[in-house]
Amino acid sequence: MPGLFIDVEVATSIRGDAELAKKLDEVCPVDIYMATSEGVQIREEQLDECVLCELCLDAAPAGAVRVIKLYDGGAALERS
Ligand code: SF4
């Protein structure tokens, strides 16, 4: 389930990457990413707390993580 305002997609190809999961868990200031033994999980209840900081985009390979602004017609957050 996406949030009301924000959804986050993690590409299947990197979802099981434990190192990347740890990195995403560390960088997101509002705890949207959770590193588990199976890789990265999304805390759905946190999605709308996203502050659009782009730190997750910087931490992941290009295009692997998408932050989708549902309030803006589904536009993806871009690295500035
Ligand atoms: S843009 Fe920032 S707040 Fe939003 S999911 Fe990525 S790291 Fe978390």
pLDDT at 53 over 80: yes
Which pLDDT value is given to residue 1?
74
At 23, is the pLDDT very low, low, confident or very high (cuts 50, 70, 90)? very high
Choose one of 9, 58, 67 to mutate for the ligand 1 pocket test, by most ligand atoms within 8 angstroms of C-beta: 67
For ligand 1, atom 3, the nearest C-alpha belongs to 50
Share of the chain above pLDDT 90, in %: 94
64/35 Cα distance (integer angstroms): 16
- What global pTM score does this model have? 0.94
Query: 54-68, pLDDT tens digit by residue?
Result: 999 999 999 999 999
Ligand 1: lining residues by beta carbon, under 6 Å = 8, 27-30, 32, 50-56, 67
